[in-house]
Copies of this chain bind each other. A is one copy, B any other.
Amino acid sequence: MEWAYNVYEDRCPTRMVLDRLADKWAVLILDRLRGAPVRFNHIRRDIKGISQKVLSQTLKRLERDGLISRAVFPTVPVTVEYALTPLGRTLTDTVSALAHWAECNMDAVLAAQEAYDAAVERR
């Protein structure tokens, strides 16, 4: 499969979309939402190291991009559930493949880094 001609162009819409996807937190969040809807602080607890601010920002961006939905329940205090939209669901396999690759090839990458650093050291 080939990309369309304009992926390499600056500011083409495809690049904009790619920009969103090429984000660590977005990838983790999209994967986290693969199952049932999840609440804000639940995601926050699950994805270690993400700040409230960044989580909020990323969720908003993903919602704006139509990848996730936001449902507010008028409980006290309020409950908000995030879930994948149908569009977002078409992306999960791809995104998970990326993360899966990271899992599987982590060792190879770490070994390569050590070899590289050792080679630099010797110079």
Chain A interface (Cβ within 8 Å of chain B)? Answer: 1, 3-4, 7-11, 13-15, 17-24, 26-28, 31-32, 46-49, 63-67, 87, 90-91, 94-103, 105-106, 108-113, 115-117
Is B8's CB under 8 angstroms from A32's CB? yes
Known: A64-B116, A96-B3. A9 touches B111 (CB 8 A): no
B19 x A22 contact (CB < 8 A): no
Whether the pair A101, B94 counts as a contact (CB closer than 8 A) is yes
Q: A3-B100, A9-B48, A101-B90 are in contact. Are A113 and B18 (CB under 8 A)?
A: no
Contact pick for A22, options B3, B27, B105, CB 8 Å: B27
A16 CB to nearest B CB, Å: 8
